[in-house]
Copies of this chain bind each other. A is one copy, B any other.
Amino acid sequence: MGAYPPCIDVAELENSELGQSGGITQQVHTKLISRARPVIFTRTMNPDIRRERENATFNPEILTNILDGNVEKTRRRREIESLVISDPDFQHDDLNFMSRSERYDAALKKSTLMIQKLREYGIADPEEIFFYKSAARGNFHEVFALHHGMFIPTLHKLGTPEQQKEWLPLAVNYHAVGTYAQTELGHGTHIRKLETTATYDPSTQEFVLNCPTVSSIKWWPGGLGKTSNHAIVLAQLYTQGRCHGLHAFIAPIRCMKTHQPLPGVTVGDIGPKFGFDEIDNGYLKLDNVRIPRENMLMKYAKVEPDGTYLKPPSDKLTYGTMVFIRAIIVGESARALSKSCTIAIRYSAVRHQSELQPGEPEPQILDYQAQQYKLFPLLATAYAFTFVGQYMSNTYHRITGDIDQGDFSELPELHALAAGLKAFTTWTANSGIEVCRMACGGHGYSRCSSLPDIYVTFTPTCTYEGENTVMMLQTARYLVKSFRQAREGQRLSGIVSYLNEPQRLQPRPVSSRPTVVNINDLNSLVEAYKIRAAKLVEMAAKSLQGELQRSKSQEDAWNNSSIELIRASDAHCHYVVVKLFAAKLSEVSDTAVHTVLSSLALLYTLHGVAVNSGDFLQAGLLNVPQLAQITQRIKALLEEIRPNAVALVDAFDYRDKMLNSVLGRYDGNVYENMFEWAKRSPLNRTEVHESYYKYMKPLQSKL
């Protein structure tokens, strides 16, 4: 071990300008990070991973700037992250060593610290707050997530000026800590069937809130169990004997002085989950809880003192929020997958195993084609999704102005796109994280790898904010509608405009068709994805038509075409992803970066063709000999990417403190640090566990 070349000395660093923010390199950052707690083995870099970095053909810093947006954004992000990383208040032991109650305690402490520090630093820009919190959260969640993400925004969106004046000061000073209670034990996706009621009593000018059944108990909201003293409750509004559907009400649930639950309120934690251990997702049962009329959020719909109901002017208002959240989730898919790739690829660079040549030293795992074939398509996917996330976010912000002015024209397309891409990217990232974990061998199962934490923290995105299958079907509805419009002669614009081109879609026997695809040309491949999508949308529409002809109802026809509809959405989303990846390349001016990103884009695209080869053969877009050529081309791309793999994950620029993974350490010193980590395991607090005396000794004496 003593043979490792020495790295920049920490002592040196402390006296250098590099220790300050700005112009700081990743390497120096890592050294900064490692100062935060005394770990023994950080002064040298593993020679394998050092060599990987030396052999890269491009400068990862330039790619980092592209991912951030520009040089200045990278600088500012790092500056903000360093505020957390260098802050002794954020040093604590691994949450994995704690009980759930201790984890909640640690998470609440961290959440309150973040609030105070962000105010202290004067950080108020949403993106900068995001950077700060991401650094502080690491792979876990924030207790006040729904207070910031739903409670306060809903007050803004649905509250009257008077309500905002009353509630916002309470909320921003955390006297009223709130959550958003929509989902019930028996109802998630289909919110129209929620059962909680708010019945107006004009005699007292109050609403009476009730969860009349077990299945109507509010269930899942984050921060509801122990943290919040208020909840925005979604309930069926009854007034003057009629139900007017779901409306939002501010319900006090705990005393603002003692934090005890209020009369009629049963509130608690829903119990342990797959991940989110530090969060108190909660239940809430309301029994004749009376709230003043003014606690109904009345910016749009209103109930007058006498109980008269006034309808809202439009129902499209909630669209924007959903689109925004789903666009953010696309970005989360990219982050979770890029973190996982960082860990798996760095570890594969320092892990030696088995032999390629008898008698030779064990090669780096990264030299195995099978390992490359697992990881590099996922690395390419992480880049693809990053660019898709940027696109979604930019598009959302571009049309937000229009929405605010009441122009919803672009919203349906964006809504359909956000739904499908949310499902497409989360499903892909979800399985991809697990591939990365299992690509690390046994150690991927250790919590010190952080891969289990990344997985359990990420996987709920497949279900929340719109269950993925439902999302795919929503996108399909838009696609089929667009397809029909095109067939009826309407000229489609935007991303579905490819459905205007029916001439491409005439079935012809495969053998007589000229080959459409040039497998070495990204644009030609994008075109093939487009035609595949068009073909599958057409097939879905035909399936619907066929089902209807068998005299089924619209609804049965829809249900009986679900397989085709989901396939069509999937192909549409896949097309959008390859198209956006290809488009991004044209923005990259640095030649070396352009070259390596082009390899990734081609790998992503060809890998997708190989995995879905049946579709492409079926659509006559490929012929059989081309399939073998694609395998060869993929292998060549794996070889091309191999020397840049570590630099490509370095460019994601996750500092050790944020990644919190022993396997994914920037310096590659995995095994020494794994041993140090394990020694801190709670089971090692005593040499002999107390249960030995309780069970093993008696057993030995009995037998």
A104 to B227, alpha carbons, bound, how many Å?
Answer: 30
How near does chain B come to A158, taking the closest CB pair, in angstroms? 24
A193 to B354, alpha carbons, bound, how many Å?
Answer: 8
Partner of A447, one of B273, B434, B438, B635: B273
- Which residues of B sit under 8 angstroms from A452, Cβ to Cβ? 273-274, 456
**A373, B562: Cβ atoms under 8 Å?**
yes
- Which residues of B sit under 8 angstroms from A183, Cβ to Cβ? 442
A583 in the interface (beta carbon within 8 A): no
**B185, A671: Cβ atoms under 8 Å?**
yes
Partner of A362, one of B190, B261, B437, B671: B190
How near does chain B come to A566, taking the closest CB pair, in angstroms? 6
A245 in the interface (beta carbon within 8 A): no
A308 in the interface (beta carbon within 8 A): no
A477 in the interface (beta carbon within 8 A): no
- Which residues of B sit under 8 angstroms from A187, Cβ to Cβ? 353
- Which residues of B sit under 8 angstroms from A174, Cβ to Cβ? 696, 699-700, 703
How near does chain B come to A376, taking the closest CB pair, in angstroms? 12
A201 in the interface (beta carbon within 8 A): no
Partner of A677, one of B261, B271, B510: B271
Partner of A193, one of B362, B462, B618, B698: B362
A368 to B688, alpha carbons, bound, how many Å?
Answer: 54
Identical copies in the complex: 2
Chain B CB within 10 Å, residue with most, of A173, A434, A455, A617 = A617
A52 in the interface (beta carbon within 8 A): no
- Which residues of B sit under 8 angstroms from A370, Cβ to Cβ? 469, 473, 562-563, 566
**B635, A268: Cβ atoms under 8 Å?**
no
Chain A interface residues toward B at CB < 8 A? 1, 96-97, 99-101, 104-105, 108-109, 111-112, 115-116, 119, 172-175, 177, 183, 185-190, 193, 214-215, 217, 219-220, 225-227, 258-261, 268-276, 280, 283, 351-358, 362, 367-371, 373-374, 430-431, 434, 437-438, 441-442, 444-448, 451-452, 455-456, 459-460, 462-464, 467-470, 473, 509-511, 539, 553, 555-556, 559-564, 566, 610, 612-618, 624, 627-628, 631, 634-635, 671-672, 674-675, 677-684, 687-692, 694-696, 698-700, 702-703
Given contacts A112-B699, A215-B671, A270-B446, 9 further A-B contacts (CB under 8 A): A214-B672, A226-B689, A269-B684, A274-B446, A367-B559, A371-B469, A434-B459, A614-B616, A614-B617
